[in-house]
């Protein structure tokens, strides 16, 4: 049901803005309020659900980057310490963009890390310090899972006419993720066998 905005003055004076589409009050997670953005209710519900899943995974990836930024050690400490922090910052920007897209569709973004942890597909890392190759592998596996889901989501969003959601997933999640995977994989060392 589409709620139309009134262009006439409200009763009792013209100093109040028209009512907010979808009404006021708290909004529950996994609900979508009416917004006149030219997408059907069903498309907006689908978009919010898919973007929230990517949002939860991206929040976990951000957390992995910060954990590894703090705990990296060894000969490549300085280089990886800076790289992990740079990648975390880029993921934080994606988190914000995804959350704002969910809001622009009329939905409620997954905002609590505990809630995100319940719906993410990114496995929880061990609580302690890992060796650097394990850190890199864990980050690469998280990226791969997010990228696979993002590609599927982008195609589905495009087929439903949600060009804004598709653009965000392709331009933000996929392109940034691919660049970060490339950068991370350059730090993996393939040791050729010794010939004697």
CA contacts within 13 A on the Cβ side of 177: 27
Whole-number pLDDT of residue 12: 42
Measured torsion, CA atoms of residues 92, 98, 100, 102, in degrees rounded to the nearest 10 = -150
The model's pLDDT over 67-78, given as tens digits with 9 standing for 90+, comes to: 999 999 999 999
Whole-number pLDDT of residue 24: 66
Whole-number pLDDT of residue 16: 42
Between 20 and 90, the more confident residue is: 90
Contact in structure between 146 and 135 (CB atoms under 8 Å): no
The model's pLDDT over 36-45, given as tens digits with 9 standing for 90+, comes to: 999 999 999 9
Whole-number pLDDT of residue 189: 65
Whole-number pLDDT of residue 15: 47
Average pLDDT over residues 108-128: 95
Whole-number pLDDT of residue 188: 83
pLDDT band at 14 (very low <50, low <70, confident <90, very high): very low
- The 3-class secondary structure across the chain, one letter per residue, is CCCCCCCCCCCCCCCCCCCCCCCCCCCCCCCCCCCCCCCCHHHHHHHHHHHHHHHHHHHHHHHHHHHHHHHCCCCCHHHHHHHHHHHHHHHHHHHHHHHHHHHHCCCCCCCCHHHHHHHCCCCCCCCCCCCHHHHHHHHHHHHHHHHHHHHHHHHHHHHCCCHHHHHHHHHHHHHHHHHHHHHHHCCCCCCCCCCC
Between 4 and 177, the more confident residue is: 177
Whole-number pLDDT of residue 25: 77
Name the pTM for this structure. Answer: 0.84
Whole-number pLDDT of residue 196: 53
Of 7-11, 107-111, 154-158, minimum mean pLDDT range: 7-11
Residue closest to 89 by CA, chosen among 4, 176, 9: 176
Length of the chain in residues, anyone? 196
pLDDT band at 87 (very low <50, low <70, confident <90, very high): very high
């Amino acid at each position: 049901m589409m709620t139309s905005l009134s262009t006439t003055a409200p009763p009792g004076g013209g100093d109040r803005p028209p009512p907010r589409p979808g009404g006021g009050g708290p909004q529950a997670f996994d609900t979508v309020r009416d917004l006149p953005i030219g997408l059907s209710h069903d498309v907006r519900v689908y978009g919010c659900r898919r973007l929230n899943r990517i949002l939860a995974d991206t929040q976990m990836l951000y957390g992995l980057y910060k954990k590894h930024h703090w705990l990296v050690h060894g000969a490549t400490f300085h280089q990886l310490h800076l790289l992990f922090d740079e990648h975390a910052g880029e993921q934080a920007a994606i988190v914000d963009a995804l959350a704002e897209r969910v809001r622009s569709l009329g939905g409620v973004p997954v905002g609590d890390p505990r809630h995100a942890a319940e719906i993410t597909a990114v496995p929880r890392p061990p609580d302690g310090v890992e060796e650097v190759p394990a850190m890199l592998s864990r980050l690469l596996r998280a990226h791969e899972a997010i990228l696979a889901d993002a590609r599927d989501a982008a195609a589905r969003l495009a087929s439903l006419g949600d060009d804004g959601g598709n653009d965000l997933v392709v331009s933000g999640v996929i392109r940034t993720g691919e660049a970060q995977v490339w950068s991370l994989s350059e730090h993996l060392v393939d040791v050729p066998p010794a010939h004697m």
